[in-house]
Amino acid sequence: MIEPDFLRITRTAYDSLAARYAELFANGLTDFPLDRAMLGAFADFVRADGGGPVADLGCGPGHVTSLLHSLGLDASGVDLSEEMIAIARAARPDLRFKVGSMTALDIGDGSLGGVLARYSIIHTPPERLPEVFAEFHRVLAPGGHLLLAFQAHDDPAEPAESFDHKVALAYRWNTDHVATLLTGLGFAEKARLVRAPLESERPFPHAHVLLAKAPPA
Ligand SMILES: C[S@@+](CC[C@H](N)C(=O)[O-])C[C@H]1O[C@@H](n2cnc3c(N)ncnc32)[C@H](O)[C@@H]1O
């Protein structure tokens, strides 16, 4: 199958920057207490629901996969970039990491208790976002939890707005638009958090949205 340009471009860009990206997050999420709070709530919900396997999709160098593991989850990572996956495997040989794309996951239907997509939907062209969300819905078990993080914007008239991300073309999303797409697929929203950017980040709001896949009626 021919790979879409946006996947090839994103992979190539992250391959070339993987070592530098890993260095930037060598201290994990120490400087991100609100992000850790949402990840902690996500982990609590997944464990309370039976603690099924959790996939960190677009895991980069695996620092958040490692955090999820430390929170008691059976966490593994998937990323487009072979270089990112090589770094993640070297850092945590005890965890499972594999190369793959969120657009077509090599994961069975209903097999996961949780999906995390932290800043990894940002390179998906707006017209492809519904198919990525459908993959998240497919791989989660009923009752399974989804946590998304992304750069946000407030204008409801614009579902997505492109910005000059340092790595590759990226989109920040209107949070209501994201929530509407997901509830339309059968997710129920549990919480959202919109925080101010840190000094080191682009001057955009940062959104976390936590949802659960509704059980069959
Ligand atoms: C901004 S980094 C975020 C890394 C990590 N999740 C974090 O929180 O720091 C985006 C990552 O998503 C990956 N990515 C982007 N699109 C992807 C896709 N369609 N499938 C899998 N990984 C993807 C990139 O290769 C990159 O490693």
Confidence of residue 166 (pLDDT cuts 50, 70, 90): confident
Quick one: pLDDT at residue 155?
87
For the chain, give the mean pLDDT: 96
Residue nearest atom 23 in ligand 1 by C-alpha distance:
58
Confidence of residue 167 (pLDDT cuts 50, 70, 90): confident
- One-letter amino acid of 126: P
Quick one: pLDDT at residue 202?
87
CA 79 to centroid of ligand 1, rounded, Å: 6
CA 116 to centroid of ligand 1, rounded, Å: 11
Per the CB < 8 A criterion, the answer to whether 62 and 88 are in contact is yes
- Of the chain, the end-to-end C-alpha distance in Å amounts to 36
Task: Please give the full DSSP string across 32-74, using - where no structure is assigned.
Answer: -HHHHHHHHHHHHHHHHTT---EEEET-TTSHHHHHHHHTT--
CA 165 to centroid of ligand 1, rounded, Å: 13
Probe residue for ligand 1, chosen from 80, 118, 131, 202 as the CB with the greatest number of ligand atoms within 8 Å: 80
CA 217 to centroid of ligand 1, rounded, Å: 33
CA 78 to centroid of ligand 1, rounded, Å: 9
Burial class from Cβ neighbours inside 10 Å (0-12, 13-18, 19+) for residue 86 reads middle
Backbone angles phi, psi at 194, to 5 degrees: -120, 120
Confidence of residue 216 (pLDDT cuts 50, 70, 90): confident
The pairs formed by 91-96 with CB atoms below 8 angstroms and a separation of 24 or more are: 91/22, 91/61, 91/62, 91/63, 91/66, 92/62, 92/65, 92/66, 95/62, 95/65, 95/66, 95/69
Q: What is the mean pLDDT of residues 37-54?
A: 97
Probe residue for ligand 1, chosen from 5, 120, 136 as the CB with the greatest number of ligand atoms within 8 Å: 120
- One-letter amino acid of 74: D
CA 57 to centroid of ligand 1, rounded, Å: 7
In the chain, the domains with their CATH numbers are 5-24+32-213 (3.40.50.150)
Ligand 1 pocket, residues with Cβ under 6 angstroms:
7, 10, 14, 25, 57-60, 64, 78-81, 84, 101-103, 118-120, 123
Backbone angles phi, psi at 3, to 5 degrees: -80, 130
Per the CB < 8 A criterion, the answer to whether 38 and 149 are in contact is yes
Q: pTM of the prediction?
A: 0.97
| pLDDT per position as a tens digit, 129-160 | 999 999 999 999 999 999 999 999 988 889 99
**Ligand 1 atom with least separation from CA of 101:** 20
